[in-house]
């Protein structure tokens, strides 16, 4: 079987790549060993948001009186919450199957291994292996939960994100190691459901990639919600011989022993680049990543790589953008390379976090003279009316030219607001242009305009 393009992996990088390739007239196939949509759709982005929605509804019920409502009886059904999440993921996966058929993309089920000569072997469940060839092979095999030697995952007492969204029953207590997006989202979900949660973070701040002001506000929110937070701490070893798990945590004050039903290891991801034939083809790698140029070509002609397996942010929307860029370049279109400095990052805990561009610390280290503005949601009419006044918007501008260097948000719904900053930065919009762009009232998005006005001493509602 000969194709123009074969994509190995059907996550948000792979399936988007395949669709765009088909739109451009390429005869396209996609190889997938599990479910269409990959980890993000089946075991990551989508089902976790379904879990978090259940947590939000449960929180509303718990605080109904704050809205003048009386709810006399309510409870959670943890297996039903999990079942709903899985149903959402399964429905989305079927949607990807529909898109493959609509775009006339051949779906090849099985484990793919690339070979020299722009070939790929696919081993089906029955053990039969079929060889396919293509003019272009695009690797989009994604990543999985990273295991540390001192935190081996057994899938029962020590788990990764995949088990965390499919537990048969709710644990009474949980230790979450790592406070990145995955760690804090699960911490929030289980805490909302009533699990006693402790977060252990090696670095001095939770959500350590965020602006320091955001990290500090978020840590206050975690503690306010009853989550124990241990920063500058590390789990040195664990003991799973008892009913639950014991974690021996090194802190600035000495060793502390934590006990819980389950420990969730959320210490990052490991790329899926083993046993897919890279060595036999001669594709270069470095530190767990496939090396590519600006158009995602590897060092071997005809082979490309996108998504988590290449350097750059390991985010679904990045993988999709990389795949589109890759196939448009193959098609000979004029393509701009991706600006990795203008990639939004989102964390869907409560409150949400969204950011793009430089943090204040990064901007100062680069030597910029700054104008910084902040607008708290406590001064937002929409936020107060909605009962979600926690958080703020922080904007960072270059004082000399007005360039929008960074935008950092924490609060309800900010993951839907950050796109304004991304588009504005893409268009090289200045702070004054944001101030003079009329924002609708009452909305959460007004806080962006007000924060920009604060940076220039023109804020109205603060």
Angular region, 365: left φ>0, alpha ψ -120 to 50, beta rest: alpha
Q: Which two tokens stand for residue 337?
A: 């390379």
Positions at the binding site for FAD: 49, 112, 308
Residue 234, class by beta-carbon neighbours within 10 Å (0-12 exposed, 13-18 middle, 19+ buried)?
A: middle
**DSSP-derived 3-state class of residue 238:** strand
Residue 293, class by beta-carbon neighbours within 10 Å (0-12 exposed, 13-18 middle, 19+ buried)?
A: exposed
Positions at the binding site for NAD(+): 178-185, 201, 268
User: What are residue 286's DSSP bridge partners?
Assistant: 289
CA 364 → CA 158, 213, 369, 392, distances in Å? Answer: 40, 15, 7, 21
Positions at the binding site: 49, 112, 178-185, 201, 268, 308
Calculate the CA dihedral of residues 175, 179, 182, 188 and round it to 10 degrees: 60
Query: Given 334, 432, 439, 441, which residue is catalytic?
Result: 441
Give the up-direction half-sphere exposure of residue 318: CA atoms within 13 A in the CB hemisphere.
Answer: 21
Query: Does residue 136 have an active-site annotation?
Result: no
Q: Which residue has the tokens 């020590």?
A: 158
State which H helix or E strand residue 200 sits in.
strand 196-200
For residue 323, give every residue at least 6 positions away whose Cβ sits within 8 Å of its Cβ, in sequence order, or none: 7, 13, 14, 16, 17, 20, 138, 140, 306, 307
Whether 174 contacts 164, CB under 8 Å: no
Cis peptide preceding 386, ω within 30 of 0: no
CA 224 → CA 45, 229, 348, 350, distances in Å? Answer: 26, 11, 17, 11
Which positions are annotated as active-site residues?
441
């Amino acid at each position: 079987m000969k194709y123009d393009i074969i994509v190995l992996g059907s996550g948000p990088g792979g399936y988007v790549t395949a669709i765009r390739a088909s739109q451009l007239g390429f005869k396209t196939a996609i190889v997938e060993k599990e479910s269409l949509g990959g980890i993000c759709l089946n075991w990551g982005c989508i089902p976790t948001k379904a879990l978090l929605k259940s947590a939000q509804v449960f929180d509303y019920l718990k605080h109904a009186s704050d809205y003048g409502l009386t709810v006399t009886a309510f409870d959670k059904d943890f297996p039903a919450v999990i079942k709903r999440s899985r149903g959402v993921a399964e429905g989305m996966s079927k949607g990807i199957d529909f898109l493959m058929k609509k775009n006339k993309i051949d779906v090849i089920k099985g484990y793919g291994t690339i070979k020299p000569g722009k070939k790929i072997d696919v081993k089906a469940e029955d053990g039969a292996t079929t060889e396919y060839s293509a003019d272009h092979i695009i690797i989009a095999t994604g990543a999985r939960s990273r295991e540390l030697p001192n935190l081996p995952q057994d899938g029962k007492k020590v788990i990764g994100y995949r088990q965390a969204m499919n537990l048969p029953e709710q644990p009474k207590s949980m230790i979450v190691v790592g406070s990145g997006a995955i760690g804090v989202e699960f911490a929030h979900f289980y805490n909302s459901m009533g699990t006693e949660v402790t977060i252990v973070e090696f670095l001095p701040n939770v959500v350590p990639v965020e602006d320091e002001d955001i990290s500090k506000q978020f840590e206050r929110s975690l503690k306010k919600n009853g989550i124990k937070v241990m920063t500058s701490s590390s789990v040195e070893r664990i003991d799973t011989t008892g009913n639950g798990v014991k974690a021996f945590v090194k802190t600035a004050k000495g060793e502390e022993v934590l006990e819980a039903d389950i420990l969730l290891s959320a210490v990052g991801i490991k790329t899926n680049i083993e046993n897919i034939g890279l060595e036999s083809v001669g594709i270069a790698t470095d530190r767990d990543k496939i090396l590519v140029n600006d158009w995602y070509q590897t060092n071997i002609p005809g082979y490309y790589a996108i998504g988590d397996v290449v350097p750059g942010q390991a985010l679904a929307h990045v993988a999709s953008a990389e795949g589109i860029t890759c196939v448009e370049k193959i098609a000979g279109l004029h393509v701009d390379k991706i600006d990795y400095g203008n990639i939004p990052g989102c964390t869907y805990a409560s409150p949400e976090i969204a950011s793009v561009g430089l943090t204040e610390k990064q901007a100062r280290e680069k030597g910029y003279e700054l104008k910084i503005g902040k607008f708290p949601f406590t001064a937002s009419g929409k936020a107060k009316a909605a009962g979600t006044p926690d958080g703020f918007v922080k904007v960072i501008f270059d004082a000399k030219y007005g360039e929008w260097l960074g935008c950092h948000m924490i609060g309800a719904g900010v993951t839907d607001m950050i796109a304004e900053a991304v588009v504005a930065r893409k268009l090289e919009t200045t702070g004054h242009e944001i101030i003079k762009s009329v924002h609708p009232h009452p909305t959460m998005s007004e806080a962006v305009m007000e924060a920009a006005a604060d940076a220039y001493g023109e804020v109205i509602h603060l």
